[in-house]
A = this chain, B = another copy of it.
Amino acid sequence: MKVSARNAFRGRITAIQPGAVNAEVTLQTSGGDTLVAIVTEGSVKSLGLVVGKEVVALVKAPWVMVATQDAGLTFSARNQLAGQVSTLSKGAVNSEVGIALPGGTEVFAVITNEAVSELGLTPGKAASAIIKASHVILAVPA
């Protein structure tokens, strides 16, 4: 795929909840993971989004937060993808963290090195990728 988003999740739309300006679109990946995206009603029409349609959900890695099971918090973000840390690439200031989901999908987040230490992230550790529905861009194969 020729698009700069680090995360591209292929799936099928399972539900569309319409609104005046925005619509909430739910999709299920082939691996069985569920993702929710908020897009404008204008996009629902222009992309011809309907239940059953195949779509790709795009999320840039800096838009993904990471939480560990001992967070002691419940989040408003509609997308909370629980898995295990699969990869850790450390830069000068930021790290890219890969989280492997049970369905086989890998989600990538860019977070600060400080956060990696605070959360004690190491390969194999349980962690969740937290993604706000309004940060998901949907794409439809042309």
Residues of A within 8 A of B (CB): 1-6, 17-24, 36-40, 42-43, 46-47, 49, 56, 58, 60-63, 65-68, 70-78, 91-94, 109, 111-112, 115-116, 118-119, 130, 132-135, 137-142
Contacts and interface: CB of A to CB of B under 8 A. Distances in A.
Please state the number of chain copies in the assembly.
3
B76 A3 contact: no
B21 A23 contact: yes
A65 B8 CA distance: 12
Given A21-B23, A60-B62, A73-B142, 5 more contacts: A1-B73, A3-B119, A36-B42, A39-B76, A43-B78
B1 A40 contact: no
Contacts of A42: 24, 36, 78
Contact of A67 (B3, B23, B37, B133): B3
